[in-house]
Amino acid sequence: MAKKVCTTKLKRELKAFNASPPAHIPAVSVNEANILEWHFLFEGPPDSPFLGGFYVGKLIFPADYPFAPPSISLLTPSGRFKPGSKICMSMSDFHPESWNPSWSVATILVGLLSFMMEDGVAFGTIATSEAEKKQLAAESRDWILRQPKAPCPFAISG
């Protein structure tokens, strides 16, 4: 069960995110039954092998957020992250010692998108060629359309 501070902060962040989503991160969706579970949608940035791709991921916040970091995973095959695997980065629950309570959902997602553009190795990352990433980007819309609404709440036209 989320603490009141957590719930209040997440509601405020949802409102702020929806008012001004970061570039290439057009949407988030919050589980109505559990405010600690969020899904997000990335659009592949220009000048990257992800161009044209759409990627769904998940944030799971701890009950004591913002004083502890969320777990982060990307669900859509991307060629950068192992689908459904937790991702190790400084803004995730792999590194609570580097967590900053002033970071927001938008900050976390911008950081993840930046990490997606790099080639660094960490838990949850995979190594693929640029051609493989481009192929997965081309297939990503169909992957999303095949998913049940529960793990993939975003409506993406075909």
**What's the mean pLDDT in 13-41?**
95
Please give the C-alpha separations between residue 148 and each of 21, 100, 108, in angstroms, as whole numbers.
Answer: 25, 34, 26
Q: What pTM does this model have?
A: 0.93
Q: Where in the sequence numbering do the catalytic residues fall?
A: 88
What are the tens digits of pLDDT across the range 99-114? 999 999 999 999 999 9
pLDDT, residue 2, reads 77
Q: Residue 56: enclosing H or E segment and its boundaries?
A: strand 54-60
In sign, the C-alpha dihedral spanning 98, 125, 49, 140 is: negative
Give the three-class secondary structure for 132: helix
| Beta-bridge mates of residue 39 | 29, 58
What are the tens digits of pLDDT across the range 74-89? 999 999 999 999 999 9
Average pLDDT, the chain: 93
Burial of residue 27 (CB within 10 Å: 0-12, 13-18, 19+) is middle
Task: Give the domains, in start order, of the chain with CATH numbers.
Answer: 4-146 (3.10.110.10)
What's the rounded Cα separation, in Å, for the pair 92 and 104? 12
Q: Contact, 92 vs 72, CB < 8 A?
A: yes
pLDDT, residue 47, reads 94
pLDDT, residue 1, reads 65
Given a cut of 70, whether residue 151 has pLDDT beyond it is: no
**What's the mean pLDDT in 89-100?**
95
